[in-house]
Structure 1
């Protein structure tokens, strides 16, 4: 027999036994001891809220159960443990200053299509010169932003700007 015919025979056996039930049912298989968990009673901690209703008997019962034997150190330790996994990112850097030509280019880029959209939704009749101005503003704003983008290194990079590829 060739190796190909052996593989074909194994494949036929797999396909033939596809819908057969397993010899051992899953209930018959023993459960591994390493998967058993110790039986610990679940504890539920209920903390009273900061805002307290004076006529609420449940809040009074909780305060009666609560002990005042704790130190300020224990409270500080509990807050440290609670905040341990919490990440607070640093404040973001300030936005860069934008000069007047860049602001005008952005207004033109979004203002032209916005005017056309509002005019179309409102059903206004758009004159030829207004249509031309809106389209020219969009194209001009886009071109101005692309031209101002620049290809060179930033001005503050100094004499050693690292590897230039």
Structure 2
């Protein structure tokens, strides 16, 4: 399923793929839709990929980033999430991304997103370019009719599952 989702992502990006595209993407932890394959496919297509770079406290208020430099430049981080070993970059670096792939537990077809509970991505997205597409990778059964939302919950623009691509209107 991860490969199918990754291929849907590549197909969605289409002609935008190449060295001018910057994609920010989380690295998944066990139980989440896998992203390492998607990150590898993005990089193989020429895109530059930013990864979250957590310090010892993964809930730090200032989200840092690092460039993906291949699987050999990853190490185990907090909560078992792979971490880049490349240079840490400031939160403002996220503004370079035209596409931001964020984690979530569920979403609605109208773009409401239920995050994983820490608020890291909601804080990080305040540094993003408002024109960046926010993408959520889910299992198809995690697309629900409704979800509770809070004022600080950032909606998504696109939901990609193993079965479909939902462009939120």
- Could you say which structure has the higher strand fraction? 2
- Could you say which structure has the higher helix fraction? 1
Higher relative contact order (CA 8 A, sep 6+): 2
User: TM-score per shorter chain, which class?
Assistant: under 0.3
What TM-score do you get using the length of structure 2 for normalisation?
A: 0.15
